[in-house]
Amino acid sequence: MGKITVVGIGPGSLMEMTPKAKEAINNAQVVVGYNVYIELIMSLLVNKEIIGTGMMQEVDRCKMAMDAAMEGKNTVVVSSGDAGVYGMAGLMLELVLQQPADKRPEWGGTVAGVSAVNAAASLLGAPLMHDFAVISLSDWLTPWDLIKKRVRLAGEGDFVMALYNPKSKSRPEYINEVQSILLKCRNPKTPVGIVTGASREQETRIISDLEHFTEAEIGMFSIVIIGNSNTYVKDGYMVTPRGYRV
């Protein structure tokens, strides 16, 4: 049997990929991933067998990785950001553990990466200095009513909030519903940062507020960070105080 390792490649730039991730890819015979992410690391894949699939084909992708490892090949499944945060680590591990112990590939573990939320926060200043909640607005795997409940409770709990998958062509109004929910418990002037394509060539950064942030351009590759009651903006940077006396 071969080995399966799930690798977080970071938000986009090779400079933000960890040495451990690069080593895992270098040692692999087969690299499996979403085509967009494969393209980001193509310079590392010389002489590798590449298995790429499109969006919404995660299960098929992991099954192909399993097949490769069961053929005795050292296989890496790549995932953007951190593979354990909305990535492929969970699905891949579930499939491995479904196999009988004496017939499953070796589990090489998950190689952590820089998450998109961390990359976005670093560009905005210091918005995640206190407790925060990360919520995906994609209802592909989670019912929309449950997502709205999580948003409401995080808002009432005064968490800083980071939103993944905030807007797409199929659900353009969800972000407006989130805004409406939060305006019931947050000051309209609460700072909101929007980072699109963090660490990639077309990276953009906008700082707005809860009342107006939906007027900005937001897409599937955006991360929206909504401050708590103490978050402020100064000289173009978002800051959420930890509580130190300064």
pLDDT digits (tens, 9 = 90+) for 160-210: 999 999 999 889 999 999 999 999 999 999 999 999 999 888 899 999 999
For range 137-155, the mean pLDDT: 97
Q: Tokens at residue 91, please?
A: 């699905």
SS3 42: helix
For range 76-104, the mean pLDDT: 95
What is the edge-to-edge ordering of all strands in the sheet holding 191-196?
A: 132-136, 160-164, 222-226, 191-196, 204-209
CA dist., res. 223 & res. 241, Å (int): 21
Range of lowest pLDDT (52-56, 92-96, 121-125): 52-56
* pLDDT value, residue 207: 98
For range 148-160, the mean pLDDT: 98
Give backbone dihedrals phi and psi of 56, rounded to 5 degrees, phi first: 70, 15
From the list 81, 38, 96, 106, the residue with the least C-alpha distance to 195 is: 81
> Which of residues 1 and 175 earns the better pLDDT score?
175
* pLDDT value, residue 106: 96
The answer, yes or no, to whether residue 15 has pLDDT greater than 80, is yes
* pLDDT value, residue 22: 97
For range 95-102, the mean pLDDT: 94
Q: Tokens at residue 163, please?
A: 């939103």
Confidence of residue 27 (pLDDT cuts 50, 70, 90): very high
Chain-wide mean pLDDT for the chain? 96
* pLDDT value, residue 90: 97
pTM recorded for the entire structure = 0.93
Range of lowest pLDDT (62-66, 142-146, 242-246): 242-246
Domain with CATH 3.40.1010.10 in the chain: 3-114
For range 39-54, the mean pLDDT: 96
For range 50-79, the mean pLDDT: 95
* CATH architecture for residues 3-114: 3-Layer(aba) Sandwich (3.40)
* CATH architecture for residues 117-239: 2-Layer Sandwich (3.30)
* pLDDT value, residue 66: 96
Domain with CATH 3.30.950.10 in the chain: 117-239
